Amino acid sequence: MRPATRGPVLIIALALLWGSNFAWIKISLDSFSPTQVTFGRMLLGALVLGTLVTITHDRLPRDRSTWGHLIVAALVANAAPYLLFALGETRVDSSIAGVMNATTPLWTLALAATTQHRESLRPTQVAGFVLGLIGCIVIFTPWNSGTIDALGTLYCLLAAISYAISYVYMAHYLTPKDITPTALATAQLIAATGWTLLALAAHPGPLPRFAPGPWAALAILGVFGTGLAYIINYALIRHEGPTRSSVVTYLVPLVSVTLGTAALNESLTPHLLTGSTLVLIGIALSRRTPPTHHALQESRSHQP
- 134 lies in some domain: no
- Distance separating alpha carbons of residues 136 and 142, to the nearest angstrom: 10
- 143 lies in some domain: no
- Distance separating alpha carbons of residues 156 and 163, to the nearest angstrom: 11
Residue 214 has pLDDT above 70, yes or no: yes
- 142 lies in some domain: no
- 36 lies in some domain: yes
Domain that holds residue 164: 3-125+148-269
182 — pLDDT class (breaks 50, 70, 90):
confident
Share of the chain above pLDDT 90, in %: 41
Amino acid 21: pLDDT:
96
At position 203, the amino acid (one-letter code) is H
Whole-model pTM: value is: 0.83
- 278 lies in some domain: no
In total, how many domains does the chain have?
1
Question: Per this entry, what is the length of the chain?
Answer: 304
- 261 lies in some domain: yes
Model confidence over 183-211: pLDDT tens digits? 988 999 999 999 999 999 999 999 998 99
- 296 lies in some domain: no
- 48 lies in some domain: yes
Average pLDDT over residues 41-61: 93
